[in-house]
Amino acid sequence: MKLIYDRFSLSDEEKKRLADLKGNGMKAIAITEDWCGDAMLNNPILLRVAEEIGNEVCFILRDENLELMDQYLTNGTSRAIPIFIFINQKGKESAVWGPRAKRVQQLVDEERRNLPAKDAEDFNEKQMSMYKRLTATYQEDSEVWHTVADSIINTLVSGK
């Protein structure tokens, strides 16, 4: 996470799109875990967005807060993280984002389609190789970083 945080900065266009949100008093609750590859990618980008508009971010651990997590299940069944809950000045939920930007989900889905069947002899080896590729992409591909930033910004601007 620190590597991405240190290397990522918002583009001028992203900053322009966030300008109207500066000082809005919104807060973000990030449901996350330190072992999660998606959190490694998304959390530092959320922090950069929050810094730009002057918003507070509170990180809570999913596995210690399952009652809250279970209110934000992905597809109604999965405790996928991170989940970012945006709270307005009145303490009301104004938007929810996560666990992945649409384009990043497509990248993950494509990688998964290339895996052999789960009962295949080489499934675990191929799956670990997939995780390593995704981790490298998450850590090095600034286009992916901006895809995530744009997705978070779209959520904040639209309030959805």
Residue ranges of the domains in the chain?
A: 2-99+148-158
To which CATH superfamily is domain 2-99+148-158 assigned? Glutaredoxin (3.40.30.10)
Q: Is the pLDDT of residue 159 over 90?
A: no
In tens, the pLDDT along 26-46 reads 999 999 999 999 999 999 999
Q: Are 86 and 96 in contact (CB under 8 A)?
A: yes
In tens, the pLDDT along 47-88 reads 999 999 999 999 999 999 999 999 999 999 999 999 999 999
Q: Cα dist. 25→28, 55, 56, 86, 160 in Å?
A: 10, 6, 8, 10, 17
Segment 129-137 mean pLDDT? 95
Phi, psi dihedral angles at 94 (to 5 degrees): -110, -20
Q: What pLDDT is attached to residue 160? A: 67
Give this prediction's pTM.
Answer: 0.93
In tens, the pLDDT along 81-119 reads 999 999 999 999 999 999 999 999 999 999 999 999 999
Distance CA 83, CA 86 (A): 10
Distance CA 45, CA 39 (A): 10
Segment 8-30 mean pLDDT? 96
Task: Note the residue count of the chain.
Answer: 160
